[in-house]
Chains A and B, each alone.
Chain A
Amino acid sequence: MSATLIPESASAAGTMRRNFWRGVWRVMKRKPSRMAGVVIVVGFAFMGVFGPMFYPDHLPGDINQITKPPSWEHWFGTDPQGRDVLALVITGSRYVLLCAAVTAVITVVAGTAIGLFSGFKRGRWDTVLMRITDMKLTIPGLPLLLVLATVWKFGSPMQMGLVLGLLGWGGVARAVRAQTLSLRERGFIEAARGLGLSTTHIVSKELLPSMAPYIAMNMLISVTGAVYAQVGLFFLGVLPYESDNWGVMLNLAVFQAGAMIQPNALGYLLAPLLAILLLTLGIVLVVDAMDEIFNPRLREE
């Protein structure tokens, strides 16, 4: 047996890393829908970062083109001020996406950290943290946002994301804790401890990857939740129209352009809805791929 040893060309660690990216590529290739998902998500990211740069700060309105239906010149028509709806969607995306990203990061980081710590440490800290989580979970989100809207203008997406994130980590923390409690009793965690691997290693390299798809799933929920929540707030009109974004568009489409009764304004109403739909779809498809990337069992040919 030992005679068959082949001298290794590259360091073992290097091989592992390459295998990981090759695995990712294979997972992507398996289902074209995943590619589509990645393209959509990357596209939205690009749109959020660079999109507004292509347009002036104040979009020019054409008074001869007020509330027009979709045409070749204006793909989704124009708004009551004669502005191109597509341009509005693009310039409005930054606020929505930045807010969603901030929410996702806060939700996932805070939720995962608190859940992992609670589940792994157990004991007194677990009790304290979980009671705090319970209390947080009892805070009704929408009413609180409505109240906050009377005080804050939510002009900056960071502010909005922060509030939504702080409202959203509770569920993730609970879920991650439950998952940690179940995983920490598994044989391979016990074995890792018995073989003298450090706690940091066990938590970050053994527990966390096992939960990655789970956390990704929760991130998806919180991102879409964040998008709906802020768009909803703007749509309801409880927030001042400080900035261009999809929620403001929906509000104006319905209440100003009268999209419900006027077919000409339909494009104005549908464009932001379509954007939200596409974004959600993209994230769902990426999460699907994520599941397979982290679970080698699903990766089998």
Chain B
Amino acid sequence: MAEQAPGVRIGGLTVVYKTPAGELPAVRDVSLTLEPGSITGIVGESGSGKSTLALSLLNAVQPPGRISAGSVEIDGLGNVAALKGEELRKARGRHIGYVFQAAQNSLNPLKTVGKQLLDLGRSHGVEDLRGLVRDAKELLGRMGLDGARVLDSHQHELSGGMRQRVGIMLALVLNAHLVVLDEPTTALDMITQANILKIVREVHAERGLTTLVITHDIGVVAEVADRLAVMYGGRLVEQGPTREVLGSPSHPYTKGLINAIPRLVGDIDEARALPGRPPTLATVPKQGCVFRERCALRMDVCDTVDPEAVAHGPRIVACHAVTVKEHA
């Protein structure tokens, strides 16, 4: 394969949704780089813009949403945000594999998995359909499923975990080297979760992929990701190597998130929930820091000035308090 693990550079991406109250940003001025061959995790609360960010990698934000500014540069594809029509359609599936949120529901209930696989192949002009079926069987086999049986099954004949794996297979079978997993383990039990994550890691290493995992489960990210990005209210508040971010979080939101996780040992009360509630599209502050309402380190400047994302070594943090501390 000529194409190997593409790098992705998201620059100043803003995605707005049209509402009666005007166009509100779900993702605001996000810059993120996915190194070739890395696994990046994005965590955040529900409604923090994770999925919207992931969809914009496909330029698949549905109306009333639209990408209003910024670019998504993918090696070998160019700026996806500017792609249109056929070109965009061809890029999806072939270059970018996408495993959807609730992949359990992403199979057509009326068709066997094999039929859907063939549809996918034909849509992308695959000549060797038999080879495609063989690849699919092999991938399914890698994930511990009986390929022939799964391809001959309808969606309702498979369990949730199996469907999830089928979703991953469909995302990978056309040899996409950039894979986006949107909540790959939501609604699965712990064992299946662990299995899926193992598969993600293995397939990632085997095929040389660049992977983006979207989740609200920090455990998942800790398990698979090399780099971690934390989203809040449509902003990326902190990003850096997973170990560092989890080990010594610097943004007050990341700290709060990690403090909220109950430990296996010790008093359960040590886990402290973040006070307040996450902003919705309508309540996100127009100016100043998005997190200030819930922040322990709030300063005057937070009310008026949106903190810049500043690099501190391998880490990028968007917080006035942290910047002040670092420079003091």
**CB-defined contacts of B120 to chain A, threshold 8 Å:** 195-197
Q: Which candidate, A11-19, A50-58, A102-110, A280-288, is the interface stretch facing chain B? A: A11-19
CA A2 to CA B156, docked complex, whole Å? 24
CA A243 to CA B288, docked complex, whole Å? 82
CA A296 to CA B120, docked complex, whole Å? 20
Which single residue of chain A is at the shortest CB-CB distance from B101?
A: A187
**CB-defined contacts of A188 to chain B, threshold 8 Å:** 105-109, 155
Q: Is the CB of A195 within 8 A of B170?
A: yes
Q: Is the CB of A198 within 8 A of B109?
A: no
A-B contact count (CB 8 A): 107
Contact A296-B92, Cβ < 8 Å, known A1-B147, A195-B170, A197-B119: no
Q: Which of B63, B112, B133, B145 is within 8 Å of A8, CB to CB? A: B133
CA A296 to CA B115, docked complex, whole Å? 13
A167-178 to B contact mask, C-beta < 8 Å, 1/0: 000000000000
Contact A193-B60, Cβ < 8 Å, known A294-B110, A297-B109: yes
Q: How large is the interface on B (under 10, 10 to 19, 20 to 34, 35 or more residues)?
A: 35 or more
Decide if B257 is an interface residue (CB 8 Å cutoff): no
- Secondary structure call for the B interface: helix
Contact A295-B100, Cβ < 8 Å, known A13-B118, A196-B124, A197-B123: no
**CB-defined contacts of B100 to chain A, threshold 8 Å:** 187, 190-191, 194
Q: Is the CB of B147 within 8 A of A196?
A: no
Q: List 14 A-B contacts (CB under 8 A).
A: A1-B140, A1-B147, A2-B137, A5-B137, A188-B155, A191-B170, A194-B98, A194-B100, A196-B94, A197-B123, A205-B119, A210-B108, A210-B109, A295-B110
**CB-defined contacts of A126 to chain B, threshold 8 Å:** none
Q: How large is the interface on A (under 10, 10 to 19, 20 to 34, 35 or more residues)?
A: 20 to 34
CA A196 to CA B105, docked complex, whole Å? 17
Q: Which of B60, B123, B134 is within 8 Å of A5, CB to CB? A: B134
**CB-defined contacts of B144 to chain A, threshold 8 Å:** 1
**CB-defined contacts of A2 to chain B, threshold 8 Å:** 137-138, 141, 147
- Secondary structure call for the A interface: helix
User: Shortest distance in angstroms between A291's beta carbon and chain B's nearest beta carbon?
Assistant: 12
**CB-defined contacts of B114 to chain A, threshold 8 Å:** 12, 16
Which single residue of chain A is at the shortest CB-CB distance from B123?
A: A197
**CB-defined contacts of B224 to chain A, threshold 8 Å:** none
Decide if B37 is an interface residue (CB 8 Å cutoff): no
Decide if B281 is an interface residue (CB 8 Å cutoff): no
User: Shortest distance in angstroms between B144's beta carbon and chain A's nearest beta carbon?
Assistant: 7
Q: Is the CB of A195 within 8 A of B110?
A: no
B261-301 to A contact mask, C-beta < 8 Å, 1/0: 00000000000000000000000000000000000000000
Contact A194-B58, Cβ < 8 Å, known A1-B141, A4-B146: yes
User: Shortest distance in angstroms between A264's beta carbon and chain B's nearest beta carbon?
Assistant: 55
Q: Is the CB of B93 within 8 A of A196?
A: yes
CA A190 to CA B103, docked complex, whole Å? 10
Q: Is the CB of B154 within 8 A of A297?
A: yes
Decide if A61 is an interface residue (CB 8 Å cutoff): no
Q: Is the CB of B129 within 8 A of A12?
A: yes
**CB-defined contacts of A194 to chain B, threshold 8 Å:** 58, 60, 92-93, 98, 100
User: Shortest distance in angstroms between A190's beta carbon and chain B's nearest beta carbon?
Assistant: 6
Q: Is the CB of B141 within 8 A of A191?
A: no
